[in-house]
Amino acid sequence: MAVNTILLDFSVDPSLTKTDGSFTVLSTNIENVLRDFLTGLKTISSFELEGSLIKIFTANRGTVVNLRIYSNGLVTLNIDYYKGEKQEPLLTLELSKIFEQKLAIALDSFRSKMFPPIKRGIPLDVYLSSSDERILEYDIDNLVFEEVTPYQKVQIVHSKTLGNMLVLDDLQNIAESDLIYTETLMQRGKENYKDKEIVILGGGDGALLYELLKEKPKEVIMLEIDDVVMKACAKYMRSICGDVLDNYSGANYKIIVGDCMKSLEQYIKEGRKFDYIFGDLTDVPISEDHSEQLWAFINKILQMSCKVLKPTGKFMTHLTGTSCPEAVEQYSQYLQKLQPSVKYTMDRAFVPSFLEEWVFCQYRLAVRSSVWSSPALRGCCEGLLIDACREEYLSSRHWTSAATNLSVKRHYIFCESV
């Protein structure tokens, strides 16, 4: 049961919409076609508004039709009607095409468009938005879980093609079809996580934790603020998180429920360092003006993460859709301003549940010659960095022993010559 809204628009020669007489001719032609398709059509109102003609009609089945003819040659037609669960649509797909064609002929239009019906007021919300705020319609057929927490609205819905999907505050986060999201975020096949110390900021769906543990890290700490998300995913999205959310600690991982900022502050005070930090938090806003507060949060996360990275460590995160280049550029500008300075790379992948290509970012601390100009700093840091280089290469799965020795030697030369 829903209100269906059918949207049509046509473009005609602007010379046909310049006078009251031409407005009348066009509206009469449209009305004649409407009567052939909508029984009981009645004109309710007609008036002019800022150089356009507006006419409102009603028809059987409680149908309301809004017609607007603009002086620039644009004609829009909106048809609203209520469709019961077992009722046939007012216009079938085949009939809709004929309807559009007849209207286009009656208007002598050179362009026409009829949109699929927008379903409003339905029990299951099937509409979400893309990163650049376009409407996306999903084949959602069941609301699996819903709860409003102190932090957000948490939903798990079922899609016929995507499986169960986590939706937070009406934003799609991850679905059972989205392994590519997790693998691109962690740069699987490009990074070696064996025996590494890792922090995940967010990640309440458990997917990243689950996949990282397959790589045999030394320890993974996940910092998630919303316990409801984890419990819901543990029950309804086990295909992406396995059993890692059943217990909040294991042989080489632990989950801390709380504000990740507080944990980062504690690690900074302790002087603790990590090999990898993952930012699996909120999307990047589409522009700096769009959410100044959110950009401030993102910037603070970046600055704090720099302070808990090992010299060879990396920060890895997701950004937004490729359709938002301004947001990606803004994020890049934040990275370029970080102190200590960083070097970053970008990657992208099409994520099924997002219905769009997504951007991912990785950065590491940049080794600058100015740091090594001081003998005191060089003495403190050189051994640590070279040892880290040795560990990184010797633990790599991708090198033979001979190649490893050569790589380490070359890396020593690089470290000593910076």
H or E segment to which residue 371 belongs: helix 369-372
| 355 and 395 together in one domain | no
| 271 and 376 together in one domain | no
Is residue 125 part of the annotated active site? The answer reads no
Rounded to the nearest 10 degrees, the angle between the axes of helix 93-107 and helix 20-37 is 160
Q: Which residue has the higher pLDDT, 386 or 221?
A: 221
Smallest Cα–Cα separation from 196: which of 214, 217, 212, 216? Answer: 217
Q: What is the CATH number of the domain that holds 205?
A: 3.40.50.150
| 351 and 387 together in one domain | no
- 291 — pLDDT class (breaks 50, 70, 90): low
Is 80 exceeded by the pLDDT of residue 286?
no
| 108 and 251 together in one domain | no
Is 80 exceeded by the pLDDT of residue 239?
yes
Q: 92 burial class (0-12, 13-18, 19+ CB within 10 angstroms)?
A: exposed
Smallest Cα–Cα separation from 321: which of 281, 282, 284? Answer: 284
| 157 and 64 together in one domain | no
CA distance 161 to 140: 9
Percent of the chain with pLDDT over 70: 85
Instruction: Label the pairing between strands 197-202 and 219-224.
Output: parallel
| 29 and 78 together in one domain | yes
Given the residues 195, 280, 283, 387, the one annotated as active site: 280
H or E segment to which residue 312 belongs: strand 309-321
Q: Residue 382: what pLDDT?
A: 44
CA distance 75 to 67: 7
Is 70 exceeded by the pLDDT of residue 131?
yes
Q: Residue 19: what pLDDT?
A: 81
Question: Phi and psi dihedrals of 39, rounded to 5?
Answer: -75, 150
Smallest Cα–Cα separation from 317: which of 339, 346, 293, 338? Answer: 346
What are 296's two structure tokens?
A: 């401030």
Taking residues 273-277, report their average pLDDT: 98
Is 60 exceeded by the pLDDT of residue 396?
no
Q: Residue 406: what pLDDT?
A: 36
CA distance 150 to 265: 23
Which domain-ending residue is among 73, 97, 120?
120
Smallest Cα–Cα separation from 148: which of 121, 127, 171, 169? Answer: 169
Q: Residue 224: what pLDDT?
A: 95
Give the tens place of pLDDT for each residue, 176-196. 999 999 999 999 999 999 999
What are 162's two structure tokens?
A: 């995507």
Q: Which domain holds residue 404?
A: 372-417
Q: What is the CATH number of the domain that holds 6?
A: 3.30.160.110
| 248 and 335 together in one domain | yes
Is 80 exceeded by the pLDDT of residue 379?
no
Instruction: Label the pairing between strands 2-11 and 118-120.
Output: antiparallel
| 279 and 332 together in one domain | yes
Smallest Cα–Cα separation from 356: which of 385, 334, 324? Answer: 324
CA distance 354 to 88: 31
Number of structural domains in the chain: 4
Q: Residue 308: what pLDDT?
A: 95
Question: Phi and psi dihedrals of 177, rounded to 5?
Answer: -90, 5
Total-model pTM: 0.82
Is 60 exceeded by the pLDDT of residue 284?
no
Q: What is the CATH number of the domain that holds 155?
A: 2.30.140.10
Question: Phi and psi dihedrals of 47, rounded to 5?
Answer: -160, 165
| 308 and 348 together in one domain | yes
CA distance 386 to 408: 9
Which residues lie closer than 8 Å to 228 by C-beta, 6 or more apart? 147, 149, 154
Q: What is the 3-state secondary structure (H, E, C) of 374-411?
A: CHHHHHHHHHHHHHHHHHHHHCCCCCCHHHHHHHHHHH
| 208 and 346 together in one domain | yes
H or E segment to which residue 361 belongs: strand 356-365
| 242 and 362 together in one domain | yes
Percent of the chain with pLDDT over 90: 74
Taking residues 256-267, report their average pLDDT: 94
| 14 and 140 together in one domain | no
Taking residues 206-219, report their average pLDDT: 98
